[in-house]
Structure 1
Amino acid sequence: MDVVLRYGSRSDAEALLPVFLDDPGARERLVPVFARHGDISVAERLLEAGVEAGRLRDGVPTGVLHAVGYLGCESAERMLWEHVEGSWHESMDACLGLLHLSCRGLRTEIAEALERYVGASVFPEFLPVLATKTGDPSWWEKLVEWGEGGASADCNSGLILGIALHGDAARAAFTRLLWNPHWEAYGGGTGSDYWAYAGARVMGLGMPELYADLIARLDSETDNKRHCIDTFTALLSHWVDREWIGLRMAPVPDESSDALCSLLFEWSTPHEDDSLTGLASRVLDHDDSLVTKLHHLETTLRNEARHELELRVIRSR
């Protein structure tokens, strides 16, 4: 299914929709295909089959909430909002769906909900991504204070993405939080690393910029060098995977695997390993798990680079 998601088309979405509707609960993995390759008619059919009386039918995956919003189905706006205070998955998918809609009719309700939860340690985790829908451009500052104050690191993914969604005004704040241990932007268990990656894409941060920032921090007197390497490694892992994240405002990274290999894993001279792995080895033990992970990422990238070259040769014939 990953191949269809990455390389499919509208015809794939159309062909798979009846299969999904026959047993939605057993075919949850098809939902991203409908979002990425479908259109408004697909969204309307998902709504018709999957929603009753303003709520998802039993057994329908919550990803449908994200999909119908992603596909621009404005008529779903109120229904999505009614799911924001639901279960964790319901709330996340509803918020991500609403992110792609105008939310003009919800501006006041979103602002009131944010004000009600601001400063709390636990809250609907992805509600902060809707801060830009309030019309108040200063919300990013409140999100930063929230994340560095009361919010639990187990509940900060929406804050991370919400800050990034404010664009250039929040660019410096977003970059700082990546390297701030308090935010735990490396956290795979909490999902913070994934949404930090998504936020970097929303911000338009490229790997060269992030790597230059990492080098500067490793050359500084900071006590958080391991954390910086951990965060960068987590971001790079997602960069290598190139997974589809379901955000129209997050362009796919344009660096090729070959370019990433050259940037991160080539030595500038034959006399000293000043690659990413070499820099990490100066801070960490050579057998540290992070160094091992970087070696694995290098191998994966080099394999991907060879695959990209083969595809270019085939396409040029």
Structure 2
Amino acid sequence: MPPATHRLGSLTLIDEERATVLPATRELLDRYRTASPAVTWRWESAVVEVILRHGSTSDARALLATFLDDPEARRRLVPVFARHGDPSTAGQLVAACLDGGRLRAGVPAEVLHAVGFLGYEPAERTLWEHVEGPYDEAMNACLGLLHLPCRGLRTDIAGALERHFGANLFPEFLPVLAAKTGDPSWLGRLVEWGEGGASTDCNGGLILGIALHGGRARPAFTQLLWNPLWEAHGPGTGSDYWAYAGARVLGLSMAELYAELGARLQSDADIDDKRHCLSVFTALLGYWAGRPWLGLRSAPDPAETSDALRDLLFAWSTPNRDDSLIGLAGQVLDSGDRDLARLHELENELHIRAVHEVEIRSLAHRYENER
């Protein structure tokens, strides 16, 4: 007798496969099938985050067909295919989403990132053809190429970098490929570019590109974090996000960054520089707490638990004086400063996340004992 099947959206799951699919995935598929208004972007984003953190290949396989039914409307699913997919997933995405080496109409550019992240080398040249295209396509193509050898593209990458070097505006994420050239001089040149003619609107690719040069880039990267010229705290340009990504690539810990912040706040730097340093640190901490999936194999999640972060940053060493991060910030910032308010929010967020981490461990322990 064949195994029982269950219809979900446009996909049929056999019992064995259904058992390995998260309840969150089944609920998402059910909502897609019943009525699209039931899938608000807030709810969908929350569910996708759960699937990213706790899903598996089965979840990616279950969601792929329903994504291909309406790629534009279900673009938030693409990271699931990257994180939990396999080479066959990449092949299916390429076959369904590209035509003549270009994205089909209505297909989100994130597919380019996913295909590269999955290591699908046949698409290497196709991704390169998108690098100087529209912003979303160019960014996702570059991020995808980071995960491919690019041996046959070294000359092309070096030539493109040379053409744009020193420019005010340029394909923002082209610099993330600088390390692929094999030319170590690009580390210093990216720093020079960022501190010279580059617009801060294009900082993200330079920041990440510097970090991708590995351990020898640590001094330059930490310097740019605190340098106001780089505006590494900027949410509008995305510089704060890519600064976080770069910190993850280099394996920087929050303890290291906090020690550097403390030294700068205790230095004789002027008040504006100290405010800037606090803004950068607050922005990084926000991402440290939220831990967004970056889609970079070289950038694992932080090792620190939420509880450890809360103790490191918000505990008082004595009950008589607030020498925590909030206390230090209060010596520099006005009581109504938005960064100070944000730090109070982050203290609360870390508490909630610490409770959630304990719940997850407890439920996992109970499940193991009941098996």
* TM-score where L is the length of structure 1: 0.99
What amino acid is aligned across from residue 227 of structure 1 in structure 2? H
Match of 2:75 in 1: 28
Match of 2:63 in 1: 16
- 1:183 equivalent among 206, 227, 230: 230
Match of 1:132 in 2: 179
> Residue deviations 1:27-59, cap 9 Å, x none?
101100000000110000000001111111111
Inter-partner Cα distance in structure 1 for 2:122 and 2:261? 44
> Residue deviations 1:247-304, cap 9 Å, x none?
0000110100000000000001111100001100000112211111000000000111
Match of 1:247 in 2: 296
1:273 aligns with 2:336: no
Match of 2:170 in 1: 123
1:302 aligns with 2:356: no
> Residue deviations 1:221-244, cap 9 Å, x none?
112000000000000000010110
Match of 1:161 in 2: 208
Inter-partner Cα distance in structure 1 for 2:181 and 2:117? 19
**Mean Cα deviation higher: 157-166 or 3-12:** 3-12
1:41 aligns with 2:54: no
Report the CA distance between 1:314 and its aligned residue. 2.6
Q: Which runs of 5+ in 2 are unaligned?
A: 1-47, 367-371
Whose relative contact order is higher, 1 or 2, with alpha carbons under 8 Å and at least 6 apart? Answer: 1
- 2:120 equivalent among 64, 73, 87: 73
Please list, as runs of the form range in 1=range in 2, the aligned pairs for 1:194-233 lying within 5 A after superposition.
194-223=241-270, 224-233=273-282
* TM-score where L is the length of structure 2: 0.85
Identity %: 68
Report the CA distance between 1:17 and its aligned residue. 0.5
Inter-partner Cα distance in structure 2 for 1:289 and 1:156? 23
Match of 2:333 in 1: 284
Q: Secondary structure at the match of 1:26?
A: coil
Report the CA distance between 1:137 and its aligned residue. 1.4
Inter-partner Cα distance in structure 2 for 1:229 and 1:119? 29
What amino acid is aligned across from residue 125 of structure 1 in structure 2? E
Report the CA distance between 1:148 and its aligned residue. 0.1
Inter-partner Cα distance in structure 1 for 2:59 and 2:280? 36
Inter-partner Cα distance in structure 2 for 1:277 and 1:50? 49
What amino acid is aligned across from residue 309 of structure 1 in structure 2? V
1:52 aligns with 2:99: yes
Report the CA distance between 1:76 and its aligned residue. 0.4
Q: Which runs of 5+ in 1 are unaligned?
A: none
- 1:171 equivalent among 209, 213, 218: 218
Please list, as runs of the form range in 1=range in 2, the aligned pairs for 1:105-116 lying within 5 A after superposition.
105-116=152-163
- Aligned pairs, number: 317
What amino acid is aligned across from residue 145 of structure 2 in structure 1? L
> Residue deviations 1:52-101, cap 9 Å, x none?
11111111100000000000000000000000010000000000000100
After the TM superposition, list the runs of 4 or more consecutive aligned residues in structure 1 that deviate by more than 6 angstroms. none
Match of 1:257 in 2: 306
Q: Secondary structure at the match of 2:217?
A: helix
Pairwise CA RMSD: 0.7
Inter-partner Cα distance in structure 2 for 1:164 and 1:301? 27
Match of 2:365 in 1: 316
Match of 2:197 in 1: 150
Report the CA distance between 1:215 and its aligned residue. 0.3
Q: Secondary structure at the match of 1:283?
A: coil
Q: Secondary structure at the match of 1:156?
A: helix
